[in-house]
Amino acid sequence: GDSVTQMEGPVTLSEEACLTINCTYTATGYPSLFWYVQYPGEGLQLLLKATKADDKGSNKGFEATYRKETTSFHLEKGSVQVSDSAVYFCALSDRGGADGLTFGKGTHLIIQP
């Protein structure tokens, strides 16, 4: 079946550091890929997505590129802020997100001033 593997946390960085959170997947079909973010006390929010190979999703300074050859969708940001502290989930869907999602375990990101 489908699965998502993302790097274990917590990841602790200083403000303005570069961020990469690795995500790889296995899927039987041609999935859509997502990054969700969960801020403390809130529900999961869609951060960005990509629906086909070489697509780049971007939002709030975060980027991720759909790499079919390496089955990866790594999340990157050039300069993180304290407000980026949250739990980040990589996920995939075989139906463009309209159906249930397969999630990674989540990565807790802590940004220190």
Partner 1 sequence: GAVVSQHPSWVICKSGTSVKIECRSLDFQATTMFWYRQFPKQSLMLMATSNEGSKATYEQGVEKDKFLINHASLTLSTLTVTSAHPEDSSFYICSARDIDPGNTIYFGEGSWLTVV
Closest to partner 1 by CB, 45 vs 81, is 45
Q: Is residue 96 close enough to count as binding partner 1 by CB under 8 A?
A: yes
How many C-beta atoms surround the C-beta of residue 33 within 10 A? 28
Neighbours of 51 (CB within 10 A): 15
Residue ranges of alpha helices (H) inside 1-113 are none
Q: Can you tell me the distance from the alpha carbon of 57 to that of 70, in angstroms, rounded to the nearest whole number? A: 17
Q: How far is the CB of 106 from partner 1 (least distance, A)?
A: 7
Q: How far is the CB of 14 from partner 1 (least distance, A)?
A: 25
Task: Pick from 30, 52, 99, 112 the residue near partner 1 by CB under 8 A.
Answer: 99
The answer to whether residue 57 forms part of the interface with partner 1 (CB under 8 A) is: no
